[in-house]
Amino acid sequence: MELALLRTLMNREFYNSNKNIAKERIFRSKETRSIKHVLDEAMSDYENDIGPSDVEALFFTQNSTLTTSQKDIYQSIFTKIDNADSLNEDVAQNVLRELNREDAANELMDIAFKMSNGEVTSLHKIVQFTERREEDFMPALKVYFEKMDIDSLLEKNELQFKWKFNIPTVAQLVPGVNAGQIVVGAARPNTGKTSSHAYLCAGPGGFAHQGAKIMVLANEEATSRVSSRYLTASCGMSIKEIVKNKHRAEELFGPIKDNLKITDATGWDLDRVERAVKAYEPDIVIADMADKFQPEGKYTAHHEQLKAAYIRFRIIAKQYNCVLFAMSQLSAEAEGKVFVNMSMLEGSRTGKASEADVLFCITKTPMVEGQQEEESPERHWLVLKNKLTGKHGRVITMLDPETATYSA
């Protein structure tokens, strides 16, 4: 990693932006420190970018007394630098910060050791250390401003949705979503919450059919059940029907199955969620149940913890350029009601709703007392918040629980 970092530092723009934290002392081996010393001198003496061969020539010119074995060691290092790819700028800055932390920790331990044996008798050394090393952990500031020409602004206009909803009546209110956005979906248990994201993702015309890579983080239902919902939603067939006609099911499910990644995320915290999103680069993330993913830190009240979690969801969506569906529950206050409001979100006053670009709730038509018929398949989609188009309201859909499909 240090050799790739040295290669990256040979880019003058990156070097100039980060030279305050790319000090020679932070490199771990004496060989890389020696090469960094020559690189610093070259950057000071020359105006253009410095290549590996330039640094190599300058190094051996300045170190003509090296033994044959020493020359072989450095020759091997320069060959590796020459073959190394430059790091992404953000990655390189993270590496520099980590090296600075390690170097600072070693220096601080040395001060502490000297204090323990009486060589240092005041806190002045620590004050000096803090003042001197504070900037070592601060990356160079880069602010990216939006282009203010009409074509660029129209291209990024949020009314041009990349991932479109496949339920026509819902799409009249919310046509679709874009990367960096967070959608909160809530319902009472056994209402069709899991089926809703299974159909939006895998149903005909759903996100997976549009080419989206989808990651489902399931920490409530068994992943086998969630996966089955995605299978039946994609085929429009019940499990019994799929067993009888596997060939047809494969024709319908086969084209999208590689776009679906479903995993058991029970016990995951939000750090692990972020690592998974970073590693697999999905276009759409389904967090079900979102409330169970723990944020870092300690909180005196549950609603504060939920607010912190949803703020983190927002950051993940923006940082990793994905849409994040945070599936939640409605509180017992919403039981038996068709029309609900944001205050009925389980465990949260305003924290969940405040982070959502879109907030929808799914309710069902309650059974009348004494009714002997089966539960109504009607499901009411209530769009309670919509920063994308500004449209709110209710649409009525029909849910087939056997196939996890919604129809207008």
**Same domain for 173 and 292?**
yes
Q: Given pLDDT bands bounded at 50, 70 and 90, which one contains residue 380?
A: very high
**Same domain for 303 and 368?**
yes
pLDDT at position 138, please? 53
Comparing 127 with 253, which gets the higher pLDDT? 253
**Same domain for 293 and 328?**
yes
Domain assignment present for residue 151? The answer is: no
pLDDT at position 136, please? 59
Q: Are 193 and 260 in contact (CB under 8 A)?
A: no
Sheet harboring 214-218: ordered strands across?
260-264, 214-218, 284-288, 323-329, 182-187, 358-364, 378-386, 393-400, 405-407
Residue 64, by phi and psi: left (phi above 0), alpha (psi -120 to 50) or beta? Answer: alpha
**Same domain for 169 and 133?**
no
Number of domains observed in the structure of the chain: 2
Highest mean pLDDT among 21-25, 44-48, 122-126, 315-319: 315-319
* Token couple for 178: 């874009």
Domain assignment present for residue 58? The answer is: yes
| % of the chain exceeding 70 in pLDDT | 94
Say which range, 169-178, 344-353, 390-399, has the weakest mean pLDDT.
344-353
Comparing 1 with 210, which gets the higher pLDDT? 210
Q: What is the mean pLDDT of residues 228-250?
A: 96
Rounded (5°) CA angle 356-362-364: 165
What pLDDT digit, counting tens, does each position of 134-162 carry?
Answer: 665 555 556 677 788 887 777 666 557 99
pLDDT at position 350, please? 80
Q: Given pLDDT bands bounded at 50, 70 and 90, which one contains residue 334?
A: very high
Q: Is the pLDDT of residue 317 over 90?
A: yes
- Which of 137, 153, 188 lies at the terminal end of a domain, its last residue? 137
Q: Are 290 and 313 in contact (CB under 8 A)?
A: yes
Q: Are 405 and 399 in contact (CB under 8 A)?
A: yes
For residue 76, the enclosing domain spans 2-137
Domain assignment present for residue 146? The answer is: no
H-helix or E-strand spanning residue 239? helix 239-244
Q: Are 269 and 294 in contact (CB under 8 A)?
A: yes
Q: Are 165 and 311 in contact (CB under 8 A)?
A: no
Phi first, then psi: give them for residue 280, nearest 5 degrees. -105, -10
Comparing 37 with 1, which gets the higher pLDDT? 37
Q: Is the pLDDT of residue 371 over 70?
A: no
What pLDDT digit, counting tens, does each position of 65-105 carry?
Answer: 999 999 999 999 999 998 988 898 888 888 888 888 888 88
Q: Given pLDDT bands bounded at 50, 70 and 90, which one contains residue 236?
A: very high
Q: What is the mean pLDDT of residues 380-405?
A: 96
Q: Are 136 and 18 in contact (CB under 8 A)?
A: no
Q: Are 394 and 339 in contact (CB under 8 A)?
A: yes
**Same domain for 244 and 377?**
yes
Q: What is the mean pLDDT of residues 353-370?
A: 88
Q: Cα–Cα distance between 253 and 144 in angstroms, integer?
A: 42
Q: Cα–Cα distance between 301 and 298 in angstroms, integer?
A: 9
* Token couple for 382: 């209530």
CATH number at residue 267: 3.40.50.300
Enter the DSSP assignment of 22: -
Q: What is the mean pLDDT of residues 163-189?
A: 96
pLDDT at position 102, please? 87
pLDDT at position 135, please? 60
Domain assignment present for residue 148? The answer is: no
Q: What is the mean pLDDT of residues 203-213?
A: 97
Domain assignment present for residue 402? The answer is: yes
Q: What is the mean pLDDT of residues 117-146?
A: 71
**Same domain for 241 and 370?**
yes
Highest mean pLDDT among 114-123, 131-140, 224-233: 224-233
Q: Cα–Cα distance between 349 and 304 in angstroms, integer?
A: 9
Comparing 376 with 233, which gets the higher pLDDT? 233
Number of CB atoms found within 10 A of residue 259's CB: 21
Q: Which of 158, 189, 101, 230 is nearest to 387 (CA)?
A: 158
pLDDT at position 114, please? 87
Q: Are 208 and 277 in contact (CB under 8 A)?
A: no
Q: Is the pLDDT of residue 133 over 70?
A: no
Q: Are strands 182-187 and 323-329 parallel, antiparallel or unpaired?
A: parallel
pLDDT at position 348, please? 78
What does the chain come to in residues? 408
For 304, counting Cβ atoms within 10 Å of its Cβ (0-12 exposed, 13-18 middle, 19+ buried), the class is middle
Q: Which of 218, 305, 299 is nearest to 260 (CA)?
A: 218
Q: What is the mean pLDDT of residues 386-408?
A: 94
Average pLDDT, the chain: 90
Domain assignment present for residue 379? The answer is: yes
**Same domain for 121 and 235?**
no
**Same domain for 402 and 281?**
yes
Question: Tokens 């923006």 map to which residue?
Answer: 318
DSSP per position, 335-362: TT-SS--GGGBTT-SSHHHHH-SEEEEE
